[in-house]
Structure formats: C-alpha cells, structure tokens
Amino acid sequence: MKRECDKCGKPATVHLTEITDGEKIEKHLCEDCAAAEGITVKASLPITQLLEDFILQSAGQEDTSDLHCDVCGLTFPEFRQRGVLGCPNDYDVFSDALDPMLRQAQEGADQHVGKVPQRADSGQEKQNTMLRLRGELRQAVASENYERAAELRDRLKEMEQQ
C-alpha cells in the first residue's frame, strides 16, 4: 500500500495515528513535510540547505563565487552544488565560509576536541585534550555535577603545569 503525502502528494513515508478526544486522525506525510511539521528530524542535516542559508545570510557581504582550492581545483559554487568537499585543503581555503555553517550544524562548535592520531604532534594533542576537558567542565558545572567538575579541574591544573 503506497500512500501519498497529505500535504504535497509525494510518496508518504511517515504515518501517524493520533487519538484526540476519542477521535482518530490519521496523518500520512513525506519526509520533508513531516520535518516541516516538527514531527521528524531529517535523517541527516541537509548540507546543501545549510550552504544555501549561509549564502543568503552573507549576501552582499563577501563574494564567495571566486573562492577556489589550488590543490584540487574545487570552486565554492561547486561545493555548494554538490555538498561534498574535494580535498583536505578545502577546509582551509573555505574556512571563513565553513565556520558559521559548522557552528549552525554542530551545536555552536567549530573546533575538534576528540581523538588525535597517534602520529600527530603532542602539542596539538595536549591542546585538544585540554579544550575537551574545559568543555566537559562547563557542562558538568551547568548540570550541577560538582564531583565530576572537581575531578576535571584537577586534571586541567595538572596538564597546565606539565
């Protein structure tokens, strides 16, 4: 049984039965309309949408159409269209455009604080660990987990003295 979306007629993939005051209401929606109604969150953040938002927000501020990577040749408009980057160097070339987008998609973060390859130099690793601990400390304080906060403070102090 294939159903069409109540709103736009595309194939419905979200099916709901609500019972309000004893009355049964069935809803059949496509992924986009369900997401628009706040019923579901899309499977993955639509990167092209984020890019679109960014372009609109920064309209008139800076022209991104000339941005391109010398290493792989990818231009910003190409990235915008495809949603995937061409090479590691693109992260540096497009960083001004990427940062606000990342912050929007990543709960405000634009800086990695997790694992570091064993072969990356230790200065980088230490910085990241400390960044991560500071973030966790902020969270621990916010959630009134004082025991964990004290533990994290001690570890940070230790690292600072090293």
Partner 1 sequence: MKLADLTKGAGEWLRGAGPMRDVVISSRIRLARNLAGVPFLAQCGPEQQHEIEQRLRQEILDAKIANEVLYVDIASASELDRQLLVERHLISRQHATASHPRGVAVSSDETCAIMVNEEDHLRIQVLRSGLDLADAIEDIMRVDDLLEARVDYAFHGKYGYLTACPTNVGTGLRVSVMLHLPALKLTGEIEKAFRAAHDMRLAIRGLFGEGTEATGDFFQVSNQTTLGKSEEQIVREFVTEMVPQLVAYERRAREALVQRRVLAVDDKARRSLALLRASRMISADETMYLLSLVRLGVNTGRLEDVNLKTINELFLLTQPAHLQKMLDKKLESEERDEVRANFIRQRLGAD
Asked if residue 138 binds partner 1 (CB under 8 A), the reply is: no
Binding to partner 1 by residue 142, rule CB under 8 A? no
From residue 118, alpha-carbon distances to 91, 112, 125 in Å are 22, 16, 9
Under the binding rule (CB under 8 A), the answer on residue 93 touching partner 1 is no
**Piece in contact with partner 1 (CB under 8 A), picked from 57-65, 96-104, 144-152, 153-161:** 96-104
Q: Is 161 in the site for partner 1 (CB under 8 A)?
A: no
Residue choice 6, 57, 62, 83 for contact with partner 1 (CB under 8 A): 83
Question: How near is the Cβ of 78 to partner 1 at its closest, in Å?
Answer: 10
Query: Would you say 83 and 101 are in contact if contact means Cβ atoms under 8 Å apart?
Result: no
Per CB under 8 A, does 68 bind partner 1? no
Cβ nearer to partner 1, comparing 60 with 144: 144
The residues, ordered by sequence, that sit 6+ positions from 162 with a Cβ below 8 Å of its Cβ are 126
Cβ atoms 15, 26 nearer than 8 A: yes
Residues that bind partner 1 in the complex, under the rule CB under 8 A:
1-3, 13-19, 38-45, 47, 50, 71-74, 82-88, 91-92, 98, 101-102, 105-120, 124, 127, 132, 135-136
